[in-house]
Amino acid sequence: MRFRFVLLVVTCICEFCGANTEENRPGPKTSPSEGLLPEVANRTGLFTPWSQWSRCVDCLQRRMKKCVSPKCEDSRIYEEKPCGKKRCKRKARQKNQFRVVHLDEDSSHLVRQAPSRAWSKWSSWSPCSENCRTQRIRICRKPGRCRKKQQEQTAYCYHDNSMCENYVLNLLDSQQNADEINRYQYHNEDLARRVSRRRRLQKRCGEPFRKNRMLKIIGGTESKKHKWPWHVAILNKYYEVFCGGTLIGPRWVLTASHCIRPYLRVRLNEHDLRARDGRELEMTVYKIFQHPKFNHKTVDNDIALLQLPRAVNLPIACLPNRSPRAQEVCSVMGWGKIRTSDTYGTHTLHEAKLPIVPPNVCRRSYRHFLITANMLCAGWPSGKSDTCAGDSGGGLICPFKRKSRLAYSVQGITSFGDGCGLRNKYGIYTTVFNYLKWIYYVMDHYS
């Protein structure tokens, strides 16, 4: 479905907005000028130049640009900033600021609508919530002329260098659905080279060094050292391994969206968490790309990409060139619990082999859960092997033949499940094949 979008970037002033310190953990240092607006303004040619700044009203000035291309129809971009007057600058310094991005087509007319005597002024934006949302209202002053007593306007919001900034800007960049308008046209001379390099790497992917719900490995065995060189340990701010991931490019780790935290580190070439052998590589994640349509309640679109600060010279897993097949036996690995009764996960990397379960069997097993087309089930009816707490984000790695050699692709991402190792309760995995377009888009444009 094609839709119009209105982007409103506002420097909001709020007494309580800065309270969320978790969103301001160390991360990529990106100034506002390096974010969204220059991409739209300077690279696409879809919009007119900025209009002149309006006069100062309530310590804010406003400017606008209009779409001049059929690709974005009658879309508009709005930007507001504090006025340069001394009292306005003093007011801005005294209070914290966050930015607002308006994408909601249903209420976009409210942004363009001229102030009316029938309505009060808009209230201030509410504090930016943990799910990156803010809202404001205005009250009807003349009931005979209004259909409702009040109007509400909801928008996305973010503080600079926060998790919400990644989420909102990724939401704008998302081209997951082919029917969505192409908001950005990157005329980048290096893009062709990036795509070519990525395709060359894919030809050598999936070959290890040697031949051979916040989820979880139940009933598995210890993996041979470096058998899965693309499996990555993800650490939180306390340097605890709490999720896994899969290296799919020299600077790219694929993981689950529910594993995302404001501050993340990764450790590559890891096997035994208690002992170092000198081959481990540990670094802070440079940038996070959480899928913009990740749903916390249904856990749909549970996929994310982590960009590393530099390229690593390690084997990478292949991305799938087909959808997963029922009864195909694949491998899962992780440092999660090996028994449901365990308090903590295992110190050494464990693996287990699991068959992919037909979709109808999966849905029967989870009648009270929404199993979407982006999810797949894997496991044994007996529950003898399963993923468990601490294995989330790791890959469901499936073998395939490349000429006469065996290689591996990541068909799934460990997402959630109902318990660990229970009969007829399978693990739920994100179907990677459904997200290839999004993955390639992010990797090609942000490498």
Give the active site residues: 258, 302, 392
CB 235 within 8 A of CB 248: no
Phi/psi-derived region of residue 248, left when phi > 0, alpha when psi is between -120 and 50, beta in every other case: alpha
Angle between helices 436-446 and 163-173 in degrees, nearest 10: 110
Residue among 330, 323, 284 at smallest CA distance from 436: 323
Question: What's the CA gap between 15 and 95, in Å, rounded?
Answer: 5
CB 402 within 8 A of CB 227: no
Residue among 302, 424, 299, 287 at smallest CA distance from 367: 424
The CA distances from residue 424 to 155, 324, 352, in Å, are: 42, 20, 17
Residue among 215, 309, 337, 297 at smallest CA distance from 253: 309
The residues near 40 (Cβ < 8 Å, ≥ 6 apart) are 7, 46, 47, 77, 183, 184
Instruction: Please identify which residue in the block is written with the tokens 């699991």.
Output: 354
Token output for 67: 């779409």
Beta strands in 237-299 (DSSP E): 241-249, 252-255, 265-268, 281-284, 287-290
Diameter of the chain measured on Cα atoms: 78
CB 99 within 8 A of CB 32: yes
Q: What is the DSSP letter of 318?
A: B
Token output for 114: 């001229």
Angle between helices 191-203 and 436-446 in degrees, nearest 10: 120
Q: Cα 144 to the chain's mean position, in Å?
A: 45
Which pairing describes strands 6-14 and 76-82: parallel, antiparallel, or unpaired?
Answer: parallel
